[in-house]
Amino acid sequence: MPIIGTIASAISGHLGLSIDALIVAGGGGGGGNLAGAGGAGGLVYASNQTLAFSTAYSVTVGAGGAGAASGGPNGTAGSNSVFGSLTTAIGGGAGQGDGFSTTGLNGGSGGGGSRGSGNYGLGTAGQGNNGG
């Protein structure tokens, strides 16, 4: 389950505060039984973001995806992480299950393919890489 919260900016003055934000999403779960690994959660670095004074910003920290049971299909994808309206990091793709005609899921970084097919998921441009 993602962690959801709010941070409040209690900054005095009219210009606000400039921050650098590193947002990382939850990684994907691996497929079952000699299958592909889950992809890493997407990573976004946003520099020089201005926070306005007396403003609340919603924050969501994405949870990692669950791995598949032994002999099962794909795991589940990781959850997205969000910092206000500034940026969203995409959750990692789940790994492909061994012996299933599925593909590793797309995500921040794509989920890996199984030993038999190697059908990997695709990564999100600027946040991660394709699975392997």
Task: Give residues with Cβ within 8 angstroms of 5, minimum separation 6.
Answer: 58, 59, 60
pLDDT at residue 5 greater than cutoff 80: no
43 has which bridge partners? 24
pLDDT, tens digit, 9 for 90 and up, residues 39-97? 999 999 888 888 877 778 888 899 999 988 877 778 889 999 998 877 788 888 888 87
pLDDT at residue 15 greater than cutoff 90: no
pLDDT at 19: 83
pLDDT at 56: 80
Phi, psi of 55 (to 5 degrees): -125, 140
DSSP structure string for 31-80: PSSS-PPPPPPPEEEEEEEEEPTTEEEEEEEPPPPPPPPTT-S---PPPP
pLDDT at 49: 84
Task: Give residues with Cβ within 8 angstroms of 13, minimum separation 6.
Answer: 53
pLDDT, tens digit, 9 for 90 and up, residues 87-131? 788 888 888 877 766 788 899 999 888 877 778 889 999 999 998
**Taking a C-beta distance cutoff of 8 angstroms, is the pair 129, 122 a contact?**
no
pLDDT at 9: 53
